[in-house]
Amino acid sequence: MTQTIGIIGSGLVGKAVAHLAVAAGYNVVISNSRGPETLSKLVGELGPRARAGSVEEAIAAGDIVSLAIPLPTFESLPADRFAGKIVLDQTNYYPGMGDFRRADLDNGELTSSELLQQRLSGARLVKGMHNLGWIHMQHNARPKGDAERTTLPIAGDDAGAKEAVTHFIEAIGYDVVDAGSLAESWRIEPNTPIYFWPYAPVVPEDLVEEEAKKVFQQAGKPISPEEARTLIDRTVRPSPIGGTLEGMPPIHVALFLELASADTVQR
């Protein structure tokens, strides 16, 4: 039986997940906070395996439910609808963006995924597909056996949920390594060795912006499972905790602002 991926969030990350899932033969129900009627163009692009729905419909339909949303919006999630659901947490803590800041995250009392697990207490939450940009999420995907196939980490407390998420990530184009529990997911959060940079190509500094954008949208150097394990094991907890736009390459920020603005206009 074909599985369904429920996606909450139709921004750049949610769209990337949807395209990868459909290409791998999954059904998709994608949602956002504005309602299914705003997603007709995207669903048309995705084809017959995809449909738009409300957030509640995406949760109900999903064998796996992807949270492709900004972390600050987590309290708006209908927590009671997630009981028993496998949830793929793609959020990241970026305290410098907006006014969302929490002492329990800043002082390391909780990881951001532990915070979400507390909110969605009945869910089976797995951290994953959060540590590379939406561009490289699509450009780096490769079939099994391809020499350019790279590796993504996951973390979670539920072995069955981890197995299901691993199967999904492998199906859409990546090898997977287990980074441990949700309490250990700081090892794969922003500002760690396996976050973002390994999946992005090196952009020569002397390129003009348009050429730099073209290079940046190519795949990064592949990481083997063994190399990914080494990156995770050698990680020291970052201080301060959380990501910053200053920690991202300027070309990534420029592309994000450009595409996010175009997306807003199209809506």
Backbone angles phi, psi at 163, to 5 degrees: -60, -45
In what helix (H) or strand (E) does residue 127 lie, and over which residues does it extend? strand 124-128
Q: Is 105 helix (H, G, I), strand (E, B) or coil?
A: helix
Confidence of residue 267 (pLDDT cuts 50, 70, 90): very low
Per-chain mean pLDDT for the chain: 92
The structure tokens listed for 58 are 């995406």
Residues 18, 20, 23, 26, CA torsion sign = negative
Average confidence (pLDDT) over 97-116: 94
pLDDT tens string 118-155: 999 999 999 999 999 998 999 999 999 999 999 999 99
The band of 264, judged by pLDDT with boundaries at 50, 70 and 90, is: very low
Q: What count of Cα atoms within 13 Å lies in the side-chain half-sphere of residue 176?
A: 21
Helical ranges in the chain per DSSP H: 12-23, 40-46, 55-61, 103-106, 112-119, 134-139, 159-172, 209-216, 225-233, 250-266
Report the percentage of the chain scoring pLDDT > 70.
96
Strands 151-156 and 175-178: parallel
Pull the structure tokens for residue 132. 């590379």
Reduced to 3 states, what is the DSSP secondary structure of residue 85? Answer: coil
Residue 209 is predicted with a pLDDT of 82
Determine, yes or no, domain membership for 154: yes
Instruction: Report the SS3 class of residue 173.
Output: coil
Q: What is the pTM assigned to this prediction? A: 0.93
Query: Could you give the number of structural domains in the chain?
Result: 1
DSSP structural state of residue 177: E
At 52 the three-state DSSP class reads strand
249 within domain boundaries: yes
- How far apart (Å, rounded) are the C-alpha atoms in residues 34 and 19? 20
- Residue labelled with tokens 């209908």: 78
pLDDT value of residue 215: 84
**16 falls within a domain:** no
**41 within domain boundaries:** no
Using only C-alpha atoms, what is the Rg of the chain? 17
**CATH label of the domain that carries residue 91:** 3.40.50
- Let me know if residue 183 belongs to a domain: yes
**pLDDT (0 to 100) of residue 233:** 97
- Let me know if residue 262 belongs to a domain: yes
Q: Side by side, which strands form the sheet with 175-178?
A: 50-52, 27-31, 4-8, 64-67, 86-89, 124-128, 151-156, 175-178
Q: What is the pLDDT of residue 208?
A: 84
Q: Is pLDDT at 266 greater than 90 in this prediction?
A: no
Structural domain harbouring 248: 70-266
Check the CA dihedral 89-94-100-101 and report its sign. Answer: positive
Q: Of residues 210 and 85, which shows the higher confidence score?
A: 85
Residue 30 lies in a domain: no
Nearest to 93 by CA among 120, 74, 66: 74
| DSSP classification of residue 265 | H
Residue 185 in any domain: the answer is: yes
Report the DSSP pairing between strands 124-128 and 151-156: antiparallel
- In this predicted structure, the answer to whether residue 258 has a pLDDT above a threshold of 90 is no
DSSP class of residue 35? -
